[in-house]
Amino acid sequence: MMSLNRSCFLGNQAIAGSSSPFSHSQKRRSASLKVVALVPKVRTSDRNGSVVMESTLQEVKDESSVVELKSTVHGGVQDVYGEDTATEDQLVTPWSVSVASGYTLIRDPHHNKGLAFTEKERDAHYLRGLLPPVVISQELQVKKMINCIRQYLVPLQKYIAMMDLQGRNEKLFYKLLIDHVEELLPVVYTPTVGEACQKYGSIFTHPHGLFISLKDKGKILEVLRNWPEKNIQVIVVTDGERILGLGDLGCHGMGIPVGKLALYTALGGVRPSACLPVTIDVGTNNQKLLDDEFYIGLRQKRATGQEYAELLQEFMTAVKQNYGEKILVQFEDFANHNAFDLLSKYGTTHLVFNDDIQGTASVVLAGLVAALKLVGGSLADHRFLFLGAGEAGTGIAELIALEVSKQTNIPVEETRKNIWLVDSKGLIVSSRKESLQHFKKPWAHEHEPVKELVDAVNAIKPTVLIGTSGAGRTFTKDVVESMASLNERPIILALSNPTSQSECTAEEAYTWTQGRAIYCSGSPFPPVEYEGKVYTPGQANNAYIFPGFGLGLIMSGTIRVHDDMLLAASEALASQVSQEDYDKGLIYPPFTNIRKISAHIAAKVAAKSYELGLATRLPEPKDLEKYAESCMYSPSYRSFR
């Protein structure tokens, strides 16, 4: 088989060295070939003065054997590679060239501008006749697309339309998402992404990320090198075992890394070409998926133990080998037992971040710090009760304990005693310690066993109730009314995603507390009218934190994540809540200013990294916030020569 050992530039402009939009692809050389060269020949012929380009491929197999193939691009293309004449059982070579011009250019999502190509660009890049004659602005394209999206009544249809746009015109996708972030965030991420993952096999058209499975064991480095972009800075990876509150979705969990990285770009300004979504497919224990003819993953039960650990070890080693020390790996939606182990194992050797444990904790802590403006006191004055003792619950609890310890100089072992957790077996107490998983043991305090949540509320008397259970409607009327009887302004955070899994709705929280609750959810709820007053529920969305957090790590060249960076991110987010937001009962700022907020968070995270000696990009910029803004990707169209 013959293949090219370098990019082949077709057309006299590209040959002359001008900057056309190139689509780079990795080419491998067959071991049997010594030299492969593409020699372009350009000549003017026929009475119309049209240009005929001849490419001669000379393949030197040895010093005496030369094979010459000719392709003439002029009206028609000769079947020089034998593709049309080959029978179905014969092999053909999938030849391609690297010039993004003409028909190729308008099908390259990185460079395509659709009807926004100028007259000059249409002439320079062979686009005449391939597009209608009108030239329109990107702003008009955004207006047209948002009108199209709004025509769909089903959220999943909107999601599919957005993913289709991302695959056709990358810059327009991000421009649309940035300009209409509050409207489209629930479409490209939670809650709609949950349904998209459940139906991923049915809606799958082409890959947006990299799939690594047990079949690739021993070859993961080679698989990573198959990805066309080489300067990767962020990887979001999942094994699909705990997708939101929906459980094991196996290979269909790819929707999560794709959605997260879309937000890294739109909200945090990380270049799309620097982002790599990865799904590690080790099977699924979801029998419904295994029986589904449209399932796209391995049809086997999940690998566990040594087989699983070895695959993850090979992946993490290959990532560092291929992309270097400063590549950020964000673990996403791993099951509890693997999530904590992976964070603990690789936290000291890699730049890793678990959004379910650390990102959720940081955004919730920010909301609690902001809520103090409404309820008074300090964090140390409050008592916290969690429903859910998994990744999110224990991660939030630990960050609260660390922040209280930092503020009061009390050991974290003591500050934990004001934080209580309830799991599926009831209140976590010391008498259960021997049977508890390791990450729950720090929260086993002295108390008699309590089975029901409402009884735990009455016994512990919390000022803050936080739901991370993944179980919908578990904050019942009795539970919420008990919180209201104990507190003038009860803080109720129903954080489980998607919307169907939320512990209670905004309407329930405001109604059952007579409008006194400070309420936030994980997925968005519409405003609620109660006794003539409109209440706007907040959303404790991780998208407030992880894009800016990641940008801060990248722009400072940080090599390890430290808890103090998470605290810095929380404080930075809390500082962005305005008095106008507080007057509405909100404890998070609106998403309309999210890129400004992300730059502020990135600056604070980078500053902490420099302070801790973990940043490698020197010297430290004088104005980190301005530097963060300057690093952000812009989705505006660029002009081509």
Tell me which residues are annotated as active site.
189, 260
CA distances from 440 to 52, 169, 385, 560, 583 (A): 72, 46, 14, 25, 37
- Sheet bearing 35-44, strands edge to edge: 35-44, 51-60, 66-73
CA distances from 566 to 335, 366, 391, 448, 557 (A): 22, 10, 16, 34, 17
CB-based burial of residue 67 (10 Å sphere; 0-12 exposed, 13-18 middle, 19+ buried)? exposed
- Sheet bearing 275-281, strands edge to edge: 210-213, 275-281, 234-238, 328-331, 351-354
Does residue 350 sit in helix, strand or coil? coil
Interacting residues of 394 by C-beta distance below 8 A, sequence separation 6+: 357, 421, 439, 440, 442, 443
Is 509 in contact with 466 (CB distance < 8 Å)? Answer: no
Place of tokens 């998209």: 196
DSSP state of 639: P
CA distances from 124 to 13, 105, 118 (A): 8, 12, 10
CA distances from 499 to 189, 192, 486 (A): 12, 9, 27
Q: How many whole angstroms separate alpha carbon 307 and alpha carbon 304? A: 6
Q: How many whole angstroms separate alpha carbon 181 and alpha carbon 312? A: 34
Pairing verdict, β 426-427 and 464-467? unpaired
Tokens of 558: 């940080």
Is 432 in contact with 397 (CB distance < 8 Å)? Answer: no
DSSP state of 621: P
End-to-end Cα distance, the chain: 36
Tokens of 225: 């090198």
Pairing verdict, β 491-494 and 518-521? parallel
Positive or negative, the CA dihedral 613, 617, 622, 623 is: negative
User: Helix and strand tally (H, E) in the chain?
Assistant: 24, 17
